[in-house]
Structure 1
Amino acid sequence: MAKLLSRRTFLALSTTLSASAVLMGSWRGTATVAAEAPSYGAQVGDVTPTRAVVWARGQSDARLVVDFSTSPRFERVQTRRGPLVSAATDYTGSLDLAGLQPGTEYYYQVRFVPTGKPVLPPSRPRATGRFRTAPRAENAAPLRFIWVADMCGQGWGRNPELEIATVDGRTVKGGYVIFDVIRPLKPDFAIFCGDMVYSDNACPPTQEIPAVVGGGTWINDPPKDFVAVSLDQFRENWKYNLGDEKFRAFLAQTPIYVQWDDHEVTNNWYPGEVLTAEPYNGIGADALAERARQAFFEYNPIRGGRIYRAYGWGKLMEMFLLDERSFRGGNDRNTQPELLAMLGPEQLQWLKERLKASRSTWKVIATHDPLSIVTGGEGDYDAWSQNNSQVLGREQELADLLKFIKDEDIRNVVWITADVHFPAAIYYDPARAVYQDFNPFWEFVIGPIHAGAFGPASDLPLDGSFGPRYEFNVLPAEPNLPPPNNQYFGAIDIDARGALTARIYKITGEVAYEKMLSPV
């Protein structure tokens, strides 16, 4: 059996290979046809013990083809045919690889074979990406995942002059530097907790940096000079971020699970809203969201057509990815005493059933909107809460869910979130709550990773309905500070004994906060 490369050697190799379209070169010979390289690298997502979704974008009408192996030298290579890509999907395509082995490292490449040509194994395959399948459900394998959100917001785009000094002594310069900080942590996977594009924000060629962090001029190179209204403009937002080589290198070696929030469409949108401001001029949010949703699915490796879904990672953890945009009631009604939907009846019932059926030690709920941090303002309360300690609007749906978790004795539930552009750790205790029929729990908040840093939207520290209290937070000196100021990502480690450690990291890789929880 051929000797496998060390992980460190392969990661160095894959970083070099995945930085550009040399990911998949053309192979020429008597039995092969020249293959077209992907235009934005490749991604893998929604990994299970036996399946993984592989994504890439071509450059013309062609068939997506994936070659993969358990060896970085591609002994025993397998080749699978994917869909034909065309202008109808902006030349993007995904292939759901089935029949994989649990807990196994795979190496893969993606190529595009011209329409009508035979799909043959390449004569010189190269390992251009990697992923590990999830362990079997009964396997208590330790794991690490990271979660990120809020990328390319408030006009702070891809700046070639952005530079940071990392905690391990490296200098990282240019673009989305945080991904070169995350990669050495070697997470098993990442959760993208929404706002991974800002379709409603342009990135002008230059932008002034606030004096409180030194002043000067921020450079966006390339700039992005539009707010998305058309389908093609929504697609361009995803391509703008994928143009960053550090982001592509991260995606080449880290499986992802993706959610959306508001900025994939527009700020604080909800179904039924009419968008009157420029450049929307009376477009319904539903029509805008339909275009944004198509681009979202075209540019991410997602299985099926539903954003809310659940995936397990061995015996120790199951994650529940929520969709708190598609089924919500109006933000302007979140102060009413009547029930207001956030998840909606169908998604809420699905979540209850999946939580009850889960046999995993930890249940991690990825809620892209925070539970008690107030977002928006009067007439536009966008998250679960609304700056009132009474249980109102959407909080009634949350109270129902928390009561269900208690009544069904569902243990070890942890919430992770983002959206508010500052980091926090919040403990919820019924002893100090207005609504008390629930078990205590933790919520860990991160962000942004590359956007303006902000503080809470209200004068109150937290909405008191469910007894929250900050154990940790970091607030910026003033609103909308650019990277690298006040930028944070999160990580969760679960060891073989089942102990969970949540960490919140600065953009430099320094740990800003750490909390260890034991299962009960």
Structure 2
Amino acid sequence: MKLSRRQLLIGASAATFAPSVAWADDGDKLNPRSIAVGDVGPKSATFWARGRREGRLLLNIADNPDFSNAREVWGPFTGADVDFTARLSLDELPWNQQVFWRATIDHDGDQGEWMVGTFRTAGPDRDVRFAWGGDTGGQGFGIDETRGGMRIFEAIRTHKPDFLIHCGDLAYSDGPFKATLKLPNGGTWHNIVTPETAKVSETLAELRGRFRYNHIDDNFRNMLTEVPVFHMWDDHEVKNNFWPGAPVKDIRYKAWNANALIGPAKRAFFEYTPIGGGRIYRNVKYGPLLEVFMLDTRSERGPNSMNEQPNYGFDTQWLGPFQRDWLKRTLRESTALWKVIACDMPLGIRSGGEKKKSDNATNGDGVPLGRELEIADILSDLKKHGVRNTVWLTADLHFAQATKYHPDDAVFKDFDPFWEFMAGPLNAGTGMLHPLDNTFGPNLEWASIPKGLPRHAPPSDGFQFYGIVEINAQTKAMAVRFFNAEAKELHVVNIDPVGV
């Protein structure tokens, strides 16, 4: 396994150490040590770890579980200023190989206990299997150890996916946990509650505590040792339905404007996720069969409104012009057969915001208006340049759905047919069915919940959903499968690629 001298020595001259260890806490369960890996490609990955003391990230990387002939890789210094987290991207890993790695926080030669993980790098001539979903810890449902914790992450792990795309709402910073919640069936939900999750999170320390909370759960932490995660964000990492400059009309907050929350929330989000680079929207080339494009519909969006503007401008931005143009360009340049576009929100399912103002891109039936103008521009550009085999994966509405978009059924017709698949929640309250917006011709094939299901049904009711995507290396076909938290398959859609 070849790693450059620069990578082996990264940060070596920059580290300085305090005379004594600074401990985050006494090492109890509520102050977890954890590891994760993300943005895995053929030869690259981003490694992440959290310890309980200041020191230097130390990795061992090997091609065997015994770590014989392991390479030693030093990472950055960590301490209280980054909540004892550290992240390191490497780009000279062996392709198409099972990688075994372990991490610790070294304090001046005292290495402490290793945390061990494994994953497989991308490569040609093999099947690809990955998971997706979103929405974790919402509607007051946190970790209930009497019910086995966040069991859906253990279900995902059992599929041994190459990676998981988490489409956002990794934490509900605006949703405090209570120790107990009375359920409609007479039962009780018992939450683990930490000081940071007992109130709305608005300071950097509180927001760090929000993202740290998931790592308390054994299912989540164990999954991370085997399943890389490609992270995105949505609104609840900051506040429900936020946009830059949005007023905060909530007496629970000291902040009066969302801008006071965005900075610390984004910092905590990056500190707690293995994202390569400093940008949420990005692409990961996963070999000849697949490239993943992850979007950010929050950072550059205009204000929520009735979303009926006829012309494109600042107030209609959803992605913003830079991200929109990046997406069109990178999709045109992609050489992968399948191009998966991961978006935190669905394209054609109507869901409102405050006083019926639109929080997503839809606005009702008819020609493209408001934020729909960006979507129309992207879809028509794909058709114009012959970009085929695009599939959209989303979350946000807390149920699963398979939707086929077709110009024959659309008001706007300048695009090629495509599929959109939605999954979630991953341990949160269940959503409710929403009407479709005919602008881009969505046709509902399947939904995971019945009409009339009470909104915010608890995870214990069984309406929790994730998706598994499989690409066959021989036939090149894609199968999209939906599962519940018991790992029971509920529905499958098979798609043959165009032009193969």
The TM-score with structure 1 as length reference comes to 0.86
Offset at residue 380 of structure 1 (A): 2.5
Aligned residue type for 2:120? R
* Contact 1:73/1:127 (8 A) holds in 2: no
Q: Of residues 491, 495, 498 in structure 2, which corresponds to 1:517?
A: 495
> More deviation in 220-229 or 508-517?
220-229
SS at match of 1:396: helix
Q: In the alignment, which residue of structure 1 is the partner of 2:188? A: 217
Pairing 1:350–2:326 present: yes
Offset at residue 158 of structure 1 (A): 0.7
Q: In the alignment, which residue of structure 2 is the partner of 1:85? A: 78
Offset at residue 126 of structure 1 (A): 6.5
Offset at residue 161 of structure 1 (A): 2.0
Q: In the alignment, which residue of structure 2 is the partner of 1:373? A: 349
* Contact 2:35/2:115 (8 A) holds in 1: no
Q: In the alignment, which residue of structure 1 is the partner of 2:121? A: 133
For 1:243-262, list aligned pairs within 5 A. 243-262=216-235
For 1:225-304, list aligned pairs within 5 A. 225-304=198-277
Pairing 1:314–2:291 present: no
Aligned residue type for 1:175? G
Q: Of residues 363, 378, 383 in structure 1, which corresponds to 2:360?
A: 383
Offset at residue 127 of structure 1 (A): 7.4
Offset at residue 411 of structure 1 (A): 0.5
* Distance of 2:236 and 2:282 partners within structure 1: 20
SS at match of 2:459: coil
* Contact 1:65/1:82 (8 A) holds in 2: yes
Residues 191-211 of structure 1 deviation map (CA, whole Å, 9 limit, x = unaligned): 11101111110110111112x
Offset at residue 428 of structure 1 (A): 0.6
* Distance of 2:150 and 2:356 partners within structure 1: 35
Aligned residue type for 1:158? I
Offset at residue 512 of structure 1 (A): 1.1
Q: In the alignment, which residue of structure 1 is the partner of 2:169? A: 195
Residues 90-136 of structure 1 deviation map (CA, whole Å, 9 limit, x = unaligned): 1111111232111111111111111xx259xx7x997711011121x
Q: In the alignment, which residue of structure 1 is the partner of 2:136? A: 151
SS at match of 2:458: coil
The TM-score with structure 2 as length reference comes to 0.89
Aligned residue type for 1:108? W
Q: Of residues 466, 478, 482 in structure 2, which corresponds to 1:489?
A: 466
SS at match of 2:146: coil
Aligned residue type for 2:458? P
Offset at residue 281 of structure 1 (A): 4.6
* Contact 1:427/1:469 (8 A) holds in 2: yes
List runs of 5+ in structure 2 lacking aligned partners.
1-20
* Distance of 2:240 and 2:33 partners within structure 1: 27
> More deviation in 382-391 or 298-307?
382-391
SS at match of 1:236: helix
For 1:392-411, list aligned pairs within 5 A. 392-411=369-388
Question: Deviation above 4 Å: which 4+ runs of structure 1?
Answer: 124-127
List runs of 5+ in structure 1 lacking aligned partners.
1-33, 163-173
CA RMSD of aligned residues (A): 2.0
* Distance of 2:113 and 2:266 partners within structure 1: 34
Aligned residue type for 1:349? D
> More deviation in 89-98 or 344-353?
89-98
Aligned length: 463
Q: Of residues 180, 198, 217 in structure 1, which corresponds to 2:154?
A: 180
Residues 175-221 of structure 1 deviation map (CA, whole Å, 9 limit, x = unaligned): 111112111110011111101111110110111112xxx33211113
Structure 1's 130 and 282: CA in aligned 2 closer, same or farther, altered over 3 A?
Answer: closer
* Contact 1:107/1:127 (8 A) holds in 2: no
* Distance of 1:127 and 1:462 partners within structure 2: 46
Identity %: 40
Offset at residue 337 of structure 1 (A): 2.1
For 1:92-103, list aligned pairs within 5 A. 92-103=85-96
Aligned residue type for 1:215? G
* Distance of 1:265 and 1:127 partners within structure 2: 30
* Contact 1:73/1:126 (8 A) holds in 2: no
